Amino acid sequence: MLTHYTDRMEKIIGILTNGFAWLPNRRNLMPQLVPEHDFSRREPQEFGMVSFTELEPKDSGDHTLGFGRFGIVVSKAWARANHAERVIYVENSGPSFEAWRSLFEAGYRDLKSRIRFPDDGAWRMSFENKAMAGAVAGAQLWPSLLQLYEYMESAEYSGEREWRIVHPHPYYSLAKSVDEAIQQVSPPQGWAQELDVLTVSPQDVSALICPQSECSSLRDQLPLEYKETTVFHTNG
């Protein structure tokens, strides 16, 4: 069971109506893995993601304190079709961390040796964009490491038991805050709307979760096609 939690009922309605917004999630691991490079302007592969927890609703009390008590449980088929993957939690010290850092530093050194025009924007993008690292610089290891980096997170958050779906394309229009990202796609507009959201349909949603006191109101506001969706309630 994978569940996306949020803090307000209107966000649940917005997701069902418009789709999941791609949200920023700066992981801040790269300065530890490759300390010699300045990634303060843009974190690698910071093109948006949608996060879920594998925690069962009965075990998600602490999780909902941080993310909210309204949830959408997605089907296994939808999660699989959209390449949801379990997050890799990385310690900030110890043998496994040293192995990660050695691997990332090797990939970085290889990429840097291939940069022919350091002041050119396209070449500079190779440090943060796996597609550019491969296509422009001809690197092989660094693009693969950036692919892994999309699913990495500090071990201090391991209790979240997170799964992610990451944006499949370089998405430089991503808003810098969660609220801005949601507002920007409420609803999605224009020719690029297929890049702006991750859509769901009734068969993709296994259940909804909300506080018991809000269940009647949620039922009233659900889009017609979701009226028969199972709703689990939590205390409150």
Q: Is the pLDDT of residue 235 over 80?
A: no
Cβ pair 166, 45 in contact under 8 A: yes
Q: What is the pLDDT of residue 236?
A: 58
Q: What average pLDDT does this structure show over 168-188?
A: 85
State pLDDT tens for residues 129-162: 999 999 989 999 999 999 999 999 999 999 999 9
Q: Give long-range contacts, CB 8 A cutoff, 24+ apart: 124-128.
A: 127/37, 127/39, 127/44, 128/39, 128/42, 128/43, 128/44, 128/45, 128/46
Q: Is the pLDDT of residue 72 over 90?
A: yes
State pLDDT tens for residues 110-130: 999 999 888 888 888 999 999
Q: What is the pLDDT of residue 104?
A: 98
d(CA 160, CA 5): 11
Cβ pair 91, 155 in contact under 8 A: yes
- As a whole-number percent, the residues of the chain with pLDDT over 90 amount to 74
Return the domain boundaries, the chain: 2-234
d(CA 135, CA 17): 37
Which of 52, 45, 129, 128 lies closest to 83, judged by CA?
A: 52
